[in-house]
Amino acid sequence: MFEKLTSLSFLQLIRHKSVQNFIFLLFIQSSNILISLMVMPLLIQSIGVDQFGLVSLALSVILIANVFVGFGYNLSGPKDVALNQDNKRELSAIISRILSSKILLAVMATGCLLVAIFGFDFFPEYKIILIYSLLMLFSEATLPVWFFQGMEKMRLVSVANVFSKLLYLTGIVFFIQGPADAKWVNFCFGGAALTVNLLVLVYVHFIFQIRIYFAGFGKALQSCRRNIYLFLSNIASHISVSGGMVILSFFASANILGMYSLAERVSMVLRMFPSLTIAAIYPNASKLYEQDKVVFYRFLLKVYRMVILGAVIITAIILVLAPFIIQLLAKELILDSVVFLRILAFVPLMATLNIANMIMILVTDQKKLLFNSSWIFCLYMLLIAIIMTAWLGGKGLAYALVSTEIVIFITCSLLIKKHTPVLFSEFYGRLFGSHHHS
């Protein structure tokens, strides 16, 4: 196995488009985390802890609304673009249709939130901050990462992302001076991102020679209807990933919540590893599946073996360094957080097992299968998390999240075996050496 993993030279590996996709996606996520860590103390100092909490609450509402605005296009968009990389006319139709759909969804989300604010008096403590945060819905609608992911040219969009975050940081430094300026924080974030996104779309129009136009209400609606299962799958995934802390809040003290939150933040960063891998290899895998199934299986096998080896190494490092990591983040050694982190270290490892299944589901465009599997493990996660948290507190929740990833893998494997048995046997036959190579 090791010979297979090292058969490519380092330079060949770095030049591979899927590897470059992974590196630039990692760069985007890393820069986002770094900038948010830099902004946090600046904001607390400028607007105070209370207003910072309200800004964070408004941001969490917008992030939920952004799942609606995204509507699963982060999954369907890259594949559509990857299969038409050399067809400018089709690319124009794809980018126009998706942008039109997402902008209409942003308008709908904005309307719903305004009705909730003014019609039903929701979010009374931070309604002004939330109104100013609505611009972020349109920055999400115009975000073109999916296009560059499909084109396998991530360099420009990763640089643009860093530039928008630096623009946001500059806005915080110069314009946020006191608690009264809290409403401008998320506005600055949305404004900086929207400005950069529009500049990138102008670049796409002139450099790639791709027309961008309003596709019309009919085509936008048709596009949304086609993506409904992906959208509902994204909601299930969002609940599965974000629901743990909400469940724990019903059973644990603020102190336990804080200790668990510290470990969970590290785990969430590690959880990016399988997600970024899927996002990075998905466009190339889609092309290979259409062009040559044998090459597709070889490519997926090579990636799968490499990422599982990488995940095992990362998990082992976290298990050993857990006390040091917690001490670095909390400025003191919190033993409960170390225990939580050592359990949660297995979450990304278990999630990595499902990478091949996810790629097989996505390249075969089995949206309904993805929907079914997402809601099965979402319901499982909610049920087991409530039972285990009530029984063992934070440790119970951590064990529940690890078991959820195992259930995701088993559920997806069984559904793929049932719906596409040839695909299942071809891949896993090769993986376990039972396939007779021609």
Contact 343, 265 (CB under 8 A): no
Q: Are residues 268 and 205 in the same domain?
A: no
Q: Are residues 189 and 265 in the same domain?
A: no
The answer to the question of residue 270 being in a domain is yes
C-alpha to C-alpha distance for 241 and 230, rounded to whole angstroms: 16
Residues of the chain scoring pLDDT < 70: 1-16, 37, 254, 330-331, 434-438
Does residue 86 come out as left (phi exceeding 0), alpha (psi in the -120 to 50 range) or beta? alpha
C-alpha to C-alpha distance for 420 and 425, rounded to whole angstroms: 9
The pLDDT of residue 254 is 66
C-alpha to C-alpha distance for 224 and 226, rounded to whole angstroms: 5
Q: Are residues 272 and 128 in the same domain?
A: no
Contact 103, 162 (CB under 8 A): no
The pLDDT of residue 121 is 85
Q: Are residues 216 and 251 in the same domain?
A: no
Contact 340, 333 (CB under 8 A): no
Q: Are residues 196 and 341 in the same domain?
A: no
Q: Are residues 208 and 353 in the same domain?
A: no
Task: Give rounded-to-5 percent helix, strand, coil for the chain.
Answer: 85, 0, 15
Domain's final residue, options 226, 258, 282: 226
Please tell me the total count of domains within the chain: 2
C-alpha to C-alpha distance for 178 and 42, rounded to whole angstroms: 11
Joined together, the tokens standing for residue 23 give 């590196």
The answer to the question of residue 2 being in a domain is no
Domain's final residue, options 168, 193, 226: 226
The answer to the question of residue 3 being in a domain is no
Q: Which residue has the tokens 């933040």?
A: 265
Q: Are residues 72 and 170 in the same domain?
A: yes
C-alpha to C-alpha distance for 289 and 366, rounded to whole angstroms: 14
Joined together, the tokens standing for residue 89 give 């006319």
Inter-CA distances, 97 with 43, 90, 142, 298, Å: 38, 10, 12, 34
Where helices occur in 252-366 by DSSP H, the ranges are 254-291, 293-330, 335-344, 346-352, 355-363
The answer to the question of residue 116 being in a domain is yes
Residue 158: give the domain boundaries. 17-226
Inter-CA distances, 155 with 51, 236, 327, Å: 36, 31, 35
The pLDDT of residue 8 is 47
C-alpha to C-alpha distance for 164 and 37, rounded to whole angstroms: 16
Output the pTM of the full model.
0.80
Q: Are residues 193 and 102 in the same domain?
A: yes
Q: Are residues 295 and 166 in the same domain?
A: no
Nearest C-alpha neighbor of 296 from the set 430, 387, 176? 430
Q: Which one-letter amino acid corresponds to residue 280?
A: A
C-alpha to C-alpha distance for 193 and 212, rounded to whole angstroms: 19
Q: Are residues 358 and 326 in the same domain?
A: yes
The answer to the question of residue 419 being in a domain is yes
Inter-CA distances, 146 with 3, 25, 101, 195, Å: 34, 11, 14, 18
Nearest C-alpha neighbor of 341 from the set 353, 329, 331? 329
Give the 3-state secondary structure of residue 396.
helix
Domain's final residue, options 226, 261, 283: 226
| Residues 6+ away with beta carbon under 8 Å from 177 | 46
The answer to the question of residue 232 being in a domain is no
Q: Are residues 187 and 248 in the same domain?
A: no
The pLDDT of residue 235 is 87
The answer to the question of residue 45 being in a domain is yes
Give the 3-state secondary structure of residue 153.
coil
Give the 3-state secondary structure of residue 422.
helix
Q: Are residues 208 and 325 in the same domain?
A: no
The pLDDT of residue 158 is 87
The helix (run of H) or strand (run of E) holding residue 193 is: helix 183-207
The answer to the question of residue 231 being in a domain is no
